[in-house]
C-alpha cells in the first residue's frame, strides 16, 4: 500500500510492504515538492496491524498539518509503481 499527502510545497509518502523475509516494513518519505530536500525512514513493524496503526496515526498527523491525501494505491498498480520509482530515487541520495 502506498499513500501520499501534499500541501502546495511539501509531500509525505508512506509505503507499507513485506520484505523478502516476510517482515512488514513501514517506509516514510518526506520533502519539498520539486526539490531534493527531504528524508526517508524505514521502520520494522511487528505485524501488519501495527503498520496500519502507524498509517492511521500518520493520516491524523498530516491532516492536522493541512496536508491532503492525493494518492492511495496498491503497489502493483501503475500509479503505485510510479510512486515506488520516486521513493527508490530518494533511497540512493
Assign residue 2 the CATH number of its domain: 2.20.140
Which residues constitute the domain of residue 11? 1-89
Q: Does the pLDDT at position 38 exceed 80?
A: yes
Give pLDDT tens digits for 62-91. 999 999 999 999 888 888 888 777 666 555
Contacts of 87 (CB under 8 A, 6+ apart): 13, 15, 27, 29, 40
What's the predicted TM-score (pTM) here?
0.83
How many independent structural domains does the chain possess?
Answer: 1
Residue 32 binned pLDDT confidence (cut-offs 50, 70, 90)? very high
Average of per-residue pLDDT across 28-53: 93
Residue 52 binned pLDDT confidence (cut-offs 50, 70, 90)? very high
Residues 31, 10: contact at Cβ < 8 Å? Answer: yes
38-45/10-18 β-pairing: unpaired
Amino acid at each position: 500500500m502506498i499513500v501520499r499527502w501534499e500541501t502546495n510545497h511539501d509531500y509525505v509518502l508512506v509505503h507499507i510492504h513485506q520484505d523478502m523475509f516476510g517482515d512488514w516494513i513501514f517506509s516514510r518519505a518526506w520533502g519539498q515538492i520539486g526539490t531534493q530536500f527531504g528524508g526517508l525512514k524505514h521502520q520494522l513493524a511487528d505485524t501488519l496491524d501495527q503498520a496500519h496503526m502507524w498509517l492511521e496515526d500518520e493520516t491524523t498527523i498530516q491532516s492536522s498539518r493541512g496536508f491532503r491525501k492525493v494518492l492511495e494505491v496498491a503497489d502493483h498498480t501503475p500509479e503505485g509503481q510510479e510512486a515506488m520509482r520516486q521513493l527508490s530515487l530518494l533511497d540512493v541520495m
